[in-house]
Amino acid sequence: MILTVTLNTALDITYRVRALTPHASHRVSEVTERPGGKGLNVARVLAALGHEATVTGFAGGATGEAVRRGLTHTPGVVDALLPVTGATRRTIAVADSTTGDTTQLNEPGPVITPAEWSAFQEVYEDLLRSASAVALCGSLPPGVPVGAYAGLVRAARAAAVPVLLDTSGEPLRRGVAARPDLVKPNADELAELTGSHDPAQATRDARRRGAHAVVASLGAKGLLAVTAEGRWRATPPQMVRGNPTGAGDSAVAGLLSGLVEKLPWPERLARAVALSAATVAATAAGEYDRAVYEETLERVSVTGEATAA
């Protein structure tokens, strides 16, 4: 099984309106709700790809209950979330049908107590025993130490479980130093980490800081990978308009599934780019359009070269 960690889970709510206008009242034409947070989105896509996924992290309050109810209707995903006293956050995506753009509103997460964090660490180490890979995803809720991901990376490495880290800011800086197998920052997160706005240079710098492989998300321009095996650039055939919520998480699912399946890097990157594009085209956050995925996968351009042995 593949383990995904979402310390700051969410209930993703998507509102669709004809046109989003500031200072105006809007009639919502469609509302969808899904269990959310980066790791939950990753698990949902992994399950759709045929992998067994287990989700862990925190869930609390009425929204936490709604998240867990939603997971019961997600085939292939096992719920190993820990109950907490605080309330799980909501994220609101307002999709503009006229422009295809989306406005995102993210609530803060619950305050995690020291006892709750200690309990999570015990559950995490137990779950690692049966995991083929683990993804550490998203922001840290209040109360969780800023070096939390670094500790979780070290625990995975001690258990000989490949670990992917997808976060930002100081948690990313500390987590990279713990030497994860793979990090997947976007261009802004990469620049903040390294101080360089040149993606090629910044990706190399991030790898020198400790990550075994770095895959930088460049939005509509695709992915840039620097690994011990080589360097590659994967580019989608065209820009897809829609709701970008969860697109990066689908890319993580593509990379992680490719790792478990031992696919060559170009195939992992092509899958990740196609899944990301198909998620933008989907109607709800954290889902992907299978037809768009299959069509895009055949047309992703991957250039680069393997490192000479």
Mind telling me the catalytic residues?
249
Give residue 286's region: left, alpha or beta (phi > 0; psi -120 to 50): left
Paired sense of beta strands 133-137 and 163-166, if any: parallel
Distance from the first to the final alpha carbon of the chain: 32
Strand-by-strand arrangement of the 28-36 sheet: 28-36, 10-17, 89-96, 102-106
Burial of 154-173, coded b for 16+ CB within 10 Å and e otherwise, reads: ebbeeeebbbbbbbbeebbb
Query: Is 73 in a helix, a strand, or coil?
Result: coil
Asked if 238 contacts 265 with a C-beta cutoff of 8 angstroms, the reply is no
CA distance 267 to 304: 12
Asked if 34 contacts 284 with a C-beta cutoff of 8 angstroms, the reply is yes
Asked if 165 contacts 182 with a C-beta cutoff of 8 angstroms, the reply is yes
Asked if 186 contacts 210 with a C-beta cutoff of 8 angstroms, the reply is no
Query: Is 218 in a helix, a strand, or coil?
Result: coil
CA distance 195 to 192: 6
As a dihedral over the C-alpha atoms of residue 37, residue 41, residue 44, residue 50, rounded to 10 degrees, the angle is: -140
User: Angle at Cα 234 formed by Cα 249 and Cα 14, nearest 5°?
Assistant: 30
Give residue 76's region: left, alpha or beta (phi > 0; psi -120 to 50): left
